[in-house]
Amino acid sequence: MNDKKLLNTREIARFLDINEKMVYAMITEKGLPATKVMGKWLFPRHLVEEWIESNTINHPQNYNTSTYNGPLIISGSNDILLNKAMDIFNIQYSDYTVVFGNIGSNAGILGLKKNLCHIASSHLLQKGIDEYNFEFADHELEHKPALINFCYRQQGLIVQKGNPKGIKTISDLADNNITFINRTEGSGTRLLFDTEIEKAGIKPSQINGYNNEVKQHLDVGIEVISGRADVGLGIKAVAKIMNLDFIPIKWERFDLLISKNRFFERGVQLFLGILHEKTFLETAEKLEGYDLQICGKMVFPKDAKKSE
In a domain, 303, yes or no: no
Rounded Cα distance, 288 and 281, in Å:
13
Mean pLDDT of 109-114: 95
Q: How confident is the model at residue 58 (pLDDT cuts 50, 70, 90)?
A: low
Look at residue 301 and tell me if it is in a domain. Answer: no
State how many domains the chain has.
3
Residue 20 has pLDDT above 90, yes or no: no
Phi and psi, residue 264, nearest 5° = -95, 5
pLDDT at residue number 68: 53
Q: Predicted confidence band at 65 (pLDDT cuts at 50, 70, 90)?
A: very low
Q: Are residues 201 and 246 in the same domain?
A: yes
Indicate whether 35 and 78 sit together in one domain.
no
CB atoms within 10 A of CB 52: 13
Question: Domain check: are 146 and 266 in the same one?
Answer: yes
Segment 46-64 shows an average pLDDT of 63
How far is the C-alpha of 177 from the C-alpha of 173, rounded, in Å? 9
**DSSP-based three-state secondary structure for 22:** helix
56 vs 87, which has greater pLDDT?
87
pLDDT of res. 56: 61
pLDDT in tens, 227-283: 999 999 999 999 999 999 999 999 999 999 999 889 989 899 999 999 999 999 999
- Span 164-200, pLDDT tens digits: 999 999 999 999 999 999 999 999 999 999 999 999 9
- Which tops the pLDDT comparison, 38 or 212? 212
166 phi, psi to nearest 5 deg: 65, 35
Question: What pLDDT was estimated at residue 179?
Answer: 98
Looking at the whole model, is its pTM more than 0.75? yes
Assess whether 142 and 271 both reside in one domain. yes
User: Distance between terminal CA atoms of the chain?
Assistant: 51
Which domain, by its residues, includes 106? Answer: 72-152+261-291
CATH of the domain at 97: 3.40.190.10
Q: How many CA atoms lie within 13 A of 35 on its CB side?
A: 11
**Using an 8 Å Cβ cutoff, are 180 and 209 in contact?**
yes
**What Å distances lie between residue 110 and 60, 133, 136, 220, 257, CA to CA?**
37, 12, 10, 25, 11
269: phi > 0 → left, psi -120 to 50 → alpha, else beta; which?
A: alpha
Q: Which of 13-22, 34-43, 95-104 has the highest mean pLDDT?
A: 95-104
Q: Say yes or no: 49 and 97 in one domain.
A: no
